[in-house]
Structures are given as structure tokens and as C-alpha cells.
Structure 1
Amino acid sequence: MRVMVLVKATEDSERGFVATPETRAAMEAMGRFNDELAEAGILLAADGLTPSSQGKRIAFNGPNRTVIDGPFAQARELVAGFWLWEVKDMEEAVAWAKRCPNPMPGPSEIEIRPIYDLADLS
């Protein structure tokens, strides 16, 4: 089972990355966690995203396309980073997510979403 693990954005992540001793230590802890995921054969991909102020959205309405510049409202509804994992089931994904260092300086959330398999769509 493949899952997308989404690190939800916070007001801090939307301000952008600032290198401090605390953020370096957090990045090192996350690097060790990613190494564990890779060694366990779970990790397929991972990365952090820049603040939404650097992003764009494309709104679709029939044949029309509208480009919307960031930043986007409500940081907690945005994504600051992601992993793509291959796990046995949702229980295993939750167990790994619970081992994750806090991805943000303060309160934060991780969302786990199964990825459709081709068989799911037929």
C-alpha cells in the first residue's frame, strides 16, 4: 500500500526557513528519521516545500484557467512537506508517523492519505 504523508503547514513554515541552531537540530533529527524509513524500505520519496507565497494555483472552470498567486490563506490547510511511503497497511503508516520528530517548532499535524491503485479505479 502506498501512502502520501503530508506535513501540514503552520504560521512558522509559511514565514520560511530560517537557519538557527534549533532548526538545524530539527533538520538533523528529521534526516535520521528519513534514514530509518529508507533502511526499512518504507521511503519512496520525501521533500519539504517552500512557503505558499512562492507558489501559484491554477483554477479550472470549464475551458478557462486562472492563475492565482500565493500566499494562500489558512496555513493549517496547506502542505509544508511530504513523504511517499510503501507500507503494509494504514496501521504501519500510523506507527511510523508516530515515531516522526515534530516537523515544526510548535504544534503541528501530519496527514496520511492512501494513494489510489489502478485496481481501485476499475
Structure 2
Amino acid sequence: MKYMLIMRSTDETFEASVDVDFSEIIDAMGRFNDEMVTAGVLVAAEGLEDASLGVVVDYSSQPPVVTDGPYGETKELFGGFWILDVASQEEAVEWAKRAPLSGPGMKAEIRRVPSIDEFPQDNEWVKKERAWRESTGQL
């Protein structure tokens, strides 16, 4: 089963990490990622650029409204993710507990990624996606 570990943080998290050497963060993440690669559970991992450089597309009106960052007061930000292929949610939790994430407001959310096999196989769009995944070696 695949699980996504989503790194979440707050403005308070960023304030607390201002004085931390970025190379220390990269080294800690690199060691953690290497552990998961060695264990054979890491499928994908990415960090995200600073939220102030992103945009938000709000669909509550037509046409959708696009707003540039920064966002003013931030409750939580999605900062990056790992996708793991593990046997259970409990195993995903154990990996998340080992992640080099610390500080006020820092959290990891864990969500299962459903397999394409869990969707109606007679659906036209599921068939097209399955064909695409097969053609790109994902299945």
C-alpha cells in the first residue's frame, strides 16, 4: 500500500528555524531519505518552494480567482511530501516518527494513496489512465 507523508508547518515553525544552517537540514533529510531507499519503501519525495512564491487558485467564484503569495496569516503550509510503499498505516506512522522534523507547529499528515485497481475498471477515464500508466512503466 502507498501512503503519503505530508510535511506541514506554520509561520511559527519558520520563525523558529531562521537560524538553523540549511546544510544541516539537507543533511538530515538526506540521511532519512537514504534510510527509506535502503529499506525499499521510498517511492517519491519532494520539497516545495517557499509559499510566498506560489499562487492560490480560488474556485469559489467563476471565473476562478488567482492570488499571488505571500498569504498574510498562515495557519498551516504544505511544505513537501514523501510517498512510501509499506504494508500498513502503522508502518507509515513509524517512518513518519523518524522524520527529521521538529519545532513548533511542525506536523506530518499521513494519507493512504488508493491504487488504480480500487476504481471502477469499466470507467472510460480509468481505462485511459491505466493505459497511460502501463505505457510509462508505472504498472
Aligning the two structures, in what range does the TM-score lie when normalised by the shorter sequence? Answer: 0.7 to 0.9
Give the aligned residue type for 1:47.
E
Q: 1:73 to 1:116 in 2, by over 3 A?
A: farther
Deviation at 1:72, TM superposition (A): 2.6
Paired with 1:68 and 1:21, the residues of 2 have a C-alpha distance of 30
Match of 2:116 in 1: 118
Q: 1:6 to 1:119 in 2, by over 3 A?
A: same
Match of 2:56 in 1: 57
Q: Deviations over 1:56-81 (max 9, x none)?
A: 11122475221111123554421111
Greater Cα shift, 111-120 or 24-33:
111-120
Name the % identity: 38
Gaps in structure 2 of 5+ consecutive residues: 121-139
Is the CA contact 1:51–1:71 (under 8 Å) kept in the aligned structure 2? no
Gaps in structure 1 of 5+ consecutive residues: none
- The alignment covers a number of residue pairs equal to 118
Structure 1 segment 57-76 matched on structure 2, within 5 A: 57-61=56-60, 64-76=63-75
Which is greater in Rg?
Answer: 2
Is the CA contact 1:13–1:51 (under 8 Å) kept in the aligned structure 2? no
Give the aligned residue type for 1:69.
D
Match of 1:98 in 2: 97
Give the aligned residue type for 1:99.
R
Secondary structure of the equivalent of 2:52? helix
Deviation at 1:48, TM superposition (A): 1.2
TM-score by length of 1: 0.79
Deviation at 1:87, TM superposition (A): 1.0
Q: 1:3 to 1:74 in 2, by over 3 A?
A: farther
TM-score by length of 2: 0.71
Match of 1:88 in 2: 87
Deviation at 1:4, TM superposition (A): 1.2
Note the aligned Cα RMSD (angstroms). Answer: 2.5
Q: 1:7 to 1:74 in 2, by over 3 A?
A: farther
Deviation at 1:22, TM superposition (A): 3.3
Q: 1:12 to 1:74 in 2, by over 3 A?
A: same
Q: 1:112 to 1:76 in 2, by over 3 A?
A: farther
Q: 1:93 to 1:111 in 2, by over 3 A?
A: same
